[in-house]
Structure 1
Amino acid sequence: MLHITCGDFAAEELRRAGMADEVLPWRDVLHEGPVPSDVTGRELREIRADFIASCGWGDYEEVLGSLDERDRLVERSAADGAVLWFEADLFDQLQMLEVVSLLRGLGVAPGSILAFRGAGFSGLDSEGLLKALEPLDAATMRAADEAWRAFTSPDPSGLERFVAEGVEGLPYVAEAVGRLLEEYPGVGDGLSRLERVMLEAASSGPVSGAALFKAVSRQEERPFFGDWSCWLMASRLMSGPAPLLAGDEGNFPDRMVRLTKAGERTLSGGSDWMRTGGRGRWIGGVRLDQAQDWRYDRNAATLARLDGRGARQ
């Protein structure tokens, strides 16, 4: 059976523990960039490769080739089932939903997919890892596929169902989707949770990119982003006609970043980042712009949609 996991480090850990010979790392940061529902597998891989290359995380042709080979391997191995090794954080849970949706579309029989049900691999030996594997039944596979479709939909309101109900048999989906919703722009200031924490980290004075990454990571119960994702967000906050952060030249780990006057206003609720420069970001199938102004209401923990005047629809 093909073993699929969240990244190269986990893949190497599984090999070292003697758990699997053939391990496929799922190399995609799905909480960043477009993941639209209205495209075929090849078109989606092209979109993802283009986004990853635009971030400077790889060469387009090499990334696309890797994604093509990844999906070909899944298709070749699907008949034998699969073992899914994904932890509880948002990064892993989105990958797992995509994999289950893909396997279900390939007609993989319920019961032939084993999924890791623990929160994380740390501290578990091979016996502990094996005990945490359980087969996915038809209802779980169907619900995971529905959750993936809700993530890739241009209307994200369907995601709220999975925060409330979760996916039976996959214990961390509800928590992960709830965390995803917090990355939508907030009502009032237009800031996602991560953006707000990033501005707060720079509010006491200039901070290095490395220190910024550590500061935002400490605020997460289950960190789901790497330093590259953190610095991508910082770069967005440093762009537009009224940037919220400013910084020195150089590589991000050593680059000093500070809060601007516009950042101070936004952090205090006196300005709306989605109105002044934060548009154009994607979350799954939603491109956040004036026509698709989806917001997260932190008090109600729900999504809301605003019209062109900023009123709820």
Structure 2
Amino acid sequence: MTKTLHILNGDSTLNIFKASGIEGDTFVWREVLSNGPVHSNFASEEFWQQRDQFMSKEFDIASGKYKEALQRPFQTLTDNLIDYSEITLWFEYDLFCQINMIALMHWLNKFSYQGTATLVCIGKIDDSGKLYGLGELSADTYQDFFNTRVKLGTREYDYASDLYEVYCSNAPDDLYNYVLMPFGELSYLPAALESHFRRFPSLQTGFTEIEEQFINFINAGETDKMKLIGKMLRWQTHQGFGDLQYINILERMKPVFNDFEKLDLPSEPDSSLISRDYFLGGANVNEWLWDMEEETLIPREPAS
């Protein structure tokens, strides 16, 4: 008897998937590996401890909730993996999804999964120029995507594993290799990685791309925080972030404001007031700058 497992990128996808008529078990991968430190030894005790500590603090998760909601279900999934003859990953074009996607491909490679692994990864589906998420599509379209899923093999596994390990390293500039030498079956990765680079503070302004956009909207007259977050969600292209991620970034900017509650900024905001002691993957943001002119990451020179 054959069994299929569908690993989905979020609960909105799950709700639509259930109405699609596609057979198989489902598992929702709810991690946010695009944020915070990520250990290279995926699904190890060190990995889970690090992610538990970060997620609990960053998203105000109650003690023990991370293990209950993410770690234990994933361990159960791992224990039962051999029961499935096919595993299909369902992901999207954005940074949020792409990092989660390569981590799971790395996991399947590390686990030496012997069944058939396939990928549904969407973004461009028509000539409109718009990039679509799975949650924006109707259930009756899911079967078409499933029918054209890509089979993953050694080349895809090795590429994803190498990229995952670089993402978890302290040398984020090495990720350029995966932008300059894109892999056809993972065509959305280069644009997602470029949006990742712009999350580091700019050499020219001291602010990240997201922080600069916050400032632009505020300078244009936005004084309501929730409307501001809504504008950020509509502005984003390849980030794929939710409202909590933007709220946390805005909170980090708090020292820059004259009056944070009123979103009152000085005429020349001082980026040096923002604490950069946080990680993206394996890189401490304090140690890198984004050169907008050269479009490259450069190590920050240590303070004398």
How high is the TM-score relative to the length of structure 2? 0.87
Give how far 1:20 is off: 4.2
1:157 paired with 2:157, answer: no
2: CA distance, partners of 1:214 / 1:182? 20
Contact 2:6 2:27 in 1 (8 A): yes
For residues 245 and 39 of structure 1, the distance between their equivalents in structure 2, rounded to whole angstroms, comes to 42
1:281 deviates by 2.0
Work out whether residues 222 and 228 of structure 2, in 8 Å CA contact, stay in contact via their aligned partners in 1: no
| Contact map agreement 1:205 1:258 (CA 8 A) in 2 | no
- For the 8 Å contact 1:82–1:112, the answer to whether it is kept is yes
Asked whether 1:100 is paired with 2:105, we answer yes
Higher relative contact order (CA 8 A, sep 6+): 2
Native 8 Å contact 2:37 2:282 kept in 1: yes
**8 Å Cα contact 1:93/1:176 also seen in 2:** yes
C-alpha distance in 2 between matches for 1:6 and 1:18: 18
Percent identity among equivalent residues? 20
3-state SS of 2:146 partner: helix
Aligned to 1:296, what secondary structure does the other structure show?
strand
Query: Contact 2:195–2:239 at 8 Å: present in 1 too?
Result: no
1:83 corresponds, among 80, 88, 106, to: 88
Give the whole-Å Cα distance in 1 for the aligned partners of 2:63 and 2:102. Answer: 24
Superposed, which structure 2 residues align to 1:122-161 within 5 Å? 122-123=137-138, 125-161=141-177
What is the identity, as a one-letter code, of the residue corresponding to 1:72?
Answer: Q
Cross-structure match for 1:42: 45
Partner of 1:17: 20
Relative to structure 1, is the Cα distance of residues 209 and 49 closer, same or farther in structure 2, using a 3 angstrom cutoff? Answer: same
Shift in Å, 1:77: 3.6
Query: Compared with structure 1, are the counterparts of its residues 38 and 100 closer, same or farther at alpha carbon in structure 2 (3 Å cutoff)?
Result: closer
Instruction: Note if 1:247 corresponds to 2:250.
Output: no
Gaps of 5+ in 2: 124-132
Aligned residues: 287
**1:223 Cα deviation (Å)?**
4.8
What does 1:148-227 align with in structure 2 at a 5 Å threshold?
148-205=164-221, 207-227=223-243
Distance between the aligned counterparts of 1:40 and 1:125, measured in 2?
33
The alpha carbon displacement at 1:208 in A equals 1.3
- The yes-or-no answer on 1:4 pairing with 2:1 is no
Q: Which is further off, 140-149 or 278-287?
A: 278-287
**Do the aligned residues in 2 keep the contact of 1:104 with 1:145 (CA within 8 Å)?**
yes
Give the CA deviation at 1:126: 3.4
Matches of 1:91 and 1:245, distance apart in 2:
32
